[in-house]
Structure 1
Amino acid sequence: MRQLLLSCLLCLSSLAHAATGVFPDSTFQNLDHGLYWFGYGDSWQKAVPGQSNAYYSASKPTVIYVHGWQNGSSQAKNRETFNRKDAGGPDLDLAYAWLAAGYNVGILYWNQFADEGEVKDAEAKIWTATGPRAMRWKNSSGVYSTGPSISAGELLFRSYRDNLAGYSGSNIRLLGHSLGNQMAIVIAKKISDAVTAGSMNSKLLPKRVALLDPFYSNYAKSYLGNKWVGEVCRSYVSELKTKGVIFEAYRSSGASSTGFIGDSNSGLMNMTAFTELKPWYFGSTQLTEKHNAAVWHYLWSFSFNPPLITGTSSQAASAKTSDSRISTLMSGTQKLVHDQGAYTKEPSDDNFTLQAR
């Protein structure tokens, strides 16, 4: 049991490393966070409010990714990007199909705040600036410094709000991996509250949120009024669904669902279009690779037609599946379970079966 717990922790803390040298040393030596827009081949430009960006157009559909726990990333000078070969994925630009389809493609970074040896210390920063480690951040020398007086969730929400202030498109999609799924939910809730208050254009409310091998720690948190993070996430998702936000979830490993290291949060999974991926091309001990598979599998699936439910012409869930179909699956009573294609990485041969939730 102890070995399983250690393996799960290592799995969650492992990084889907970006290629060495993608970001300059200054990005890791100084505090840097917020929204970056990407072009082909992992080219990027940081979003700055009021300034034009080579990789952003206010009228385009938009997909924005949020990473999770980043233990060790600052000294390693690593950030997640859209080539996931070092995380067990393909040596491909997984933003390519999205860009070719006319999407803005972005990443919301909070890596220096998420660089903690204990996952719950990073998790707290999503919700509060006064958690166990407050809002400290780590630089590339391994030194922590005192951070801002607002939470990482609020910081990323403000970066989103300020950089998309003139957005005129019709579809925004948020993706959150592991701990980052909580961040995506928190940001969506803050956006919804701002829209309701009349301080934000309703076009900025995400149409769809994808939770990718999501993680929620166990036990009540004092900073959440002694509620579990999974419990609060359920309440947020329930409210957001009434505002028209569509939720899909993909589980690819046991790292976040064993009940020993994380809350499986089956109640929340049942509120989404929920898919159990079976990355059986990895061995039983390759928990890190399985945990990361949800990200690149989802991004890559946009390159192919939606998968089918085995023996039918009905579509299963993927990044390419339409919003309306994901909404139908979300409202159903069954989950999707990987059937055909579980032994190949490429999503093009995937089929799924329906099972009771």
Structure 2
Amino acid sequence: MLNKTITKSGTSGYTAPDAGAKNTLLRRLFLLLVLGFSQLTALPLAQAATGVFPDSTFQNLDYGLYWFGYDDNWQKAVPGQSNAYFANNKPTVIYIHGWQNGSTVLKNRETFYRKDAGGPDLDLAHAWLAAGYNVGILYWNQFADEGEVKDAEAKIWTATGPRAMRWRNSSGVYSSGPGKSAGDLLFDQYKANMASYTGSNIRILGHSLGNQMAIVLTKKISDAVSAGTLSSRLLPKRVALLDPFYSNYAKSWLSNRWVGEVCRTYVSELKTKGVIFEAYRSSSVTNTVFVGDANNNLMKMTAFTELKPWYFNSAQQVEKHNSAVWHYLWSFSFNPPLITGTTRQAASASTSDSRISTLMNGTKKLVHDQGAYTKEPSDDNFKEANR
């Protein structure tokens, strides 16, 4: 097993194992590299069924907040207009997707049906809606439609990255985009459409690359609250990082810092503002030495759970990567799982904020123990391990 030494990024330094172990390790890492890149470029997405969104959604630039009802019914949020699927006093959950390579030509967008991503043939918004939640998705899919994941990543942080803010249409053609980063664009959408919110329970979910967007968005909200330009009600109470991805190495467009490093700085600050963070890792795609920064020091700042979706084989890394989303959404339908041999609760979407906060501030991570071979979260138990 690779022994890691901590550097500025938290994950970029290594000490050498013995020769035999090193050769075995390199073979495994090479396999993961091949699997990771080949499968990630083969659409690591959960597509909506054909016809959920009209062609115009993909022919023209379209981004922002959509509210959902049962069975993938939706209505885009428009400032000042009533919305059939939003009430300003309800608890609210908002999902943010990640990299969307090739999705626009196929006219696909992620929704709450995840069967195409290896999940159950269920409406995963149903339990949330039945519990009285507003359920939304913040889309930036046409900006995130890049052949290179780092080009999409840059757009979260800056409008002047390698591909600026170009966006792709359904003919596969790229056009110049706005002069704001995707993070700023989604913050503007959030601020404008949540202005009337009177509730006190907002949860943000970010998958893969979208976890960075969730962190950046929450930081922008927090800064606006501190500046007195936004109601404190709009600060998310809880942020879930679902199989999070951070690319390796310093970025010129981020003052020569690693994205994982900046995310750690933001999360550390946001925790002092009362934001609760949970994280779930479900695959190797996001954290091999060649593909992504494991950002272990950030995971230690969260209520961190290692999911083991062993109903997929070792070659099905994309399915494992996507499982973090539908497993989390589905887990809201069931009682919180337990820590094996105890009556203490482990982490899931249905675990209370106070319990997630306790796990976040503890010294242990949770590792999938029982129920790892079944997709349904109802039989899950977890064991504690050192972080």
TM range (shorter): over 0.9
TM superposition shift of 1:3: 4.3
Q: Does 1:147 align with 2:183?
A: no
The Cα offsets for residues 332-357 of structure 1, whole Å up to 9 and x where unpaired, read as 00000000000000000000000000
Q: Superposition pairs for residues 86-165 of structure 1, below 5 Å?
A: 86-165=116-195
Q: Does 1:229 align with 2:229?
A: no
Corresponding position of 1:24: 54
Corresponding position of 2:285: 255
Q: Does 1:8 align with 2:36?
A: yes
Q: Does 1:273 align with 2:285?
A: no
2:164 is matched by which residue type in structure 1? A
Distance 1:300 1:29 in 2: 32
TM-score, length-scaled by structure 1: 0.99
2:227 is matched by which residue type in structure 1? A
The Cα offsets for residues 72-131 of structure 1, whole Å up to 9 and x where unpaired, read as 000010000000000000000000000000000000000000000000000000000000
Corresponding position of 2:7: none
Instruction: Give unmatched runs, 5+ long, in structure 1.
Output: none
Distance 1:18 1:340 in 2: 31
Distance 1:107 1:270 in 2: 27
Root mean square deviation, CA, Å = 0.7
Determine helix, strand or coil for the equivalent of 2:370. coil
Q: Considering only CA atoms, is the larger Rg found in Structure 1 or Structure 2?
A: 2
Q: Superposition pairs for residues 195-214 of structure 1, below 5 Å?
A: 195-214=225-244
1:327 is matched by which residue type in structure 2? S
Determine helix, strand or coil for the equivalent of 1:73. coil
1:285 is matched by which residue type in structure 2? A
* 8 Å CA contact retained: 1:10, 1:288: no
The Cα offsets for residues 20-72 of structure 1, whole Å up to 9 and x where unpaired, read as 11101000000000000000001000000000000000000000000000000
Distance 1:45 1:155 in 2: 19
Corresponding position of 1:73: 103
Q: Does 1:291 align with 2:321?
A: yes
Distance 1:10 1:272 in 2: 30
* 8 Å CA contact retained: 1:63, 1:106: yes
* 8 Å CA contact retained: 1:56, 1:104: yes
Instruction: Give unmatched runs, 5+ long, in structure 2.
Output: 1-28
Task: Give the fraction of aligned pairs with identical amino acids, expressed as a percent.
Answer: 80
Corresponding position of 1:325: 355
Distance 2:35 2:121 in 1: 25
Distance 2:205 2:118 in 1: 19
1:7 is matched by which residue type in structure 2? L
Determine helix, strand or coil for the equivalent of 1:184. helix
* 8 Å CA contact retained: 1:11, 1:255: no
TM-score, length-scaled by structure 2: 0.91
Q: Does 1:36 align with 2:66?
A: yes
Aligned residues: 357
